[in-house]
Amino acid sequence: MRNFLASVAITYYFNAISFVQSFSVKAPAPAPKDIAIVGCGVLGTSLLRQLVTSPEFESKSITAITKTSNNHESILKSVGSSSESSSFDLTTMDEIPKDQKFSNVVFCAPPSAFDDYPAAVADASDNLWCGTNDGDGTFVFTSSGGVYGPGDGEVVSETSPLPDSSLASARSMRMVKAEENVLSRKGGVLRLAGLYTLERGAHNYWLEKGDGTVKGSSDGIINLLNYDDAAGACLSALKVGPSIVGGKVFLISDGHPTTREGICASALKSKKYKDSKMPTFGQSDGAGKGKIYDGNISNLSLKWEPVHESFDKFMQGSQ
């Protein structure tokens, strides 16, 4: 009899729980936040710094998302904030609530941070971005002009065809597939020229970290873009919005292509590299001289122009 009563009590208890749960109200998803930066390296940190000082975005909520918290202190220092006084949230991907969405997302994390880069970009678009249903938000993906392939001195623009997949490198195809994921979701792609700061870029390796030789020929064409200008282009993409950016490709450079020898010659004009020596260049390996980027249409569409007119002028001013 006792066993029977215990069985009835247990059954009643679980039935009561199920009855209550059937009438429970699921907690609503968090309200969308305004802007997320996925990847806060040199480029993402520059964008963060520009966002928090931009009058157009001073009332917007900004969230910078990193893979780990290892560099959070240096990011805060670079932006000029502390953890107590920052006007933005600095967090890791693991700490973002699964149902948290953002009206605008800029994905500028490098491929090296992910095992499957195209999938990571698609995941950020699907799970972080509100998408086109939000109406006013934009997804911006920072790609690379390297997707155009080696080239032999020809001019390329936003509409230039990409090389056949059978001829493209694995690195280029990974970026192309990431672009396809973004464009199919009505995001925008910014193909960036070679990025640099005073301390970062090919010039730094060739003049300071390398062995005094450069594998490529001296006349190989290189298109360049300062990191701060690249971040400025991302900012401009957010300003003009989805009606301009959605589903489109943009080509971003400073408009002053140079050569490998030209890069080194310009860097030697700066105080930092004045004691370095011009490296020895290799012979042409038959891969072509490179391509010349024409981003005039992109500049007009985004209402953007570089602050640093050229690599040469940047280095001359770095005294």
- At 197, the amino acid letter reads T
The pLDDT value recorded for residue 19 is: 45
Nearest residue to 64 via CA among 55, 54, 52, 56:
52
Distance separating alpha carbons of residues 14 and 71, to the nearest angstrom: 49
Nearest residue to 298 via CA among 145, 172, 168:
145
pLDDT grade for 7, boundaries at 50, 70 and 90: low
DSSP at 111: G
C-alpha dihedral over 126, 132, 138, 144, to 10 degrees? 60
Lowest average pLDDT, out of 84-93, 113-122, 242-251, 292-301, goes to: 84-93
Beta-carbon contacts of 20 under 8 Å, excluding residues fewer than 6 positions away, are: none
The pLDDT value recorded for residue 11 is: 52
pLDDT grade for 25, boundaries at 50, 70 and 90: low
Distance separating alpha carbons of residues 58 and 49, to the nearest angstrom: 12
Domain ranges of the chain: 33-197+225-255+293-306
> Quick check: helix, strand or coil at residue 118?
helix
The pLDDT value recorded for residue 14 is: 47
- At 224, the amino acid letter reads L
**Per-residue pLDDT tens for 106-156?**
999 999 989 999 999 999 999 999 998 756 799 999 999 999 998 889 999
pTM of this prediction?
A: 0.89
Does residue 186 carry a pLDDT above 70?
yes
Choose which CATH entry (3.40.50.720, 3.40.50.2300, 3.40.50.620, 3.90.550.10) describes domain 33-197+225-255+293-306. 3.40.50.720
Residue 231 near residue 50 (C-beta atoms within 8 A):
yes
β pairing state of 258-259 and 139-144: unpaired
The pLDDT value recorded for residue 8 is: 44
Distance separating alpha carbons of residues 171 and 298, to the nearest angstrom: 24
Does residue 167 carry a pLDDT above 90?
no
pLDDT grade for 240, boundaries at 50, 70 and 90: very high
Does residue 286 carry a pLDDT above 70?
no
Residue 291 near residue 156 (C-beta atoms within 8 A):
yes
DSSP letters, 213-248, are EESS-TT-EE-EEEHHHHHHHHHHHHHH-HHHHTT-
The pLDDT value recorded for residue 20 is: 41
Q: Look over the chain and give the mean of its residue pLDDT values, rounded to a whole number.
A: 90
The pLDDT value recorded for residue 29 is: 74
